[in-house]
Amino acid sequence: MRTHNTNVVEFAQTVSCTKKFRHDYPIPEPLKKLLLIDIYHDFTGFVLSQYLSEAQPFIDEFLSFHPTQSNKKFSLEQNLFWWYVLYQNSVNDEMNVIDQYVLENKMKYRKKQIIPAWLNEWGKAVPKFYLIRNKHDQQKYIIEDILNRKEVEVSLNNEEFYFHEGALVAGTLIPIGNSVYFPVVDFYNFTYETSVEILTHILFYYKNYYDTTTSAYQLFLHLFSAALQIENQIIEKTNEQA
Q: Where are the domains of the chain?
A: 2-241
User: Virtual CA dihedral for 13, 83, 146, 150, nearest 10 degrees?
Assistant: -10
Q: Closest by alpha carbon to 120, among 52, 20, 47, 25?
A: 20
Beta strands in the chain (DSSP E): 128-135, 140-145, 151-155, 168-171, 173-175, 180-183, 188-189
Superfamily of domain 2-241: Nucleic acid-binding proteins (2.40.50.140)
Q: Closest by alpha carbon to 59, among 36, 79, 42?
A: 79
Segment-wise mean pLDDT, segments of 10 residues, the chain, 242 residues:
42 71 91 94 96 96 92 95 94 87 91 91 95 80 94 82 86 95 95 92 85 83 94 87 68
| Dist. CA 13–CA 6, nearest whole Å | 14
String of b and e for 65-76 (b: at least 16 CB within 10 Å)? ebebeeeeeebb
Question: What does the pLDDT read at residue 159?
Answer: 65
Question: What does the pLDDT read at residue 160?
Answer: 65
| Dist. CA 195–CA 159, nearest whole Å | 22
User: Virtual CA dihedral for 34, 38, 41, 46, nearest 10 degrees?
Assistant: -110
Question: What does the pLDDT read at residue 4?
Answer: 42
Question: What does the pLDDT read at residue 8?
Answer: 44
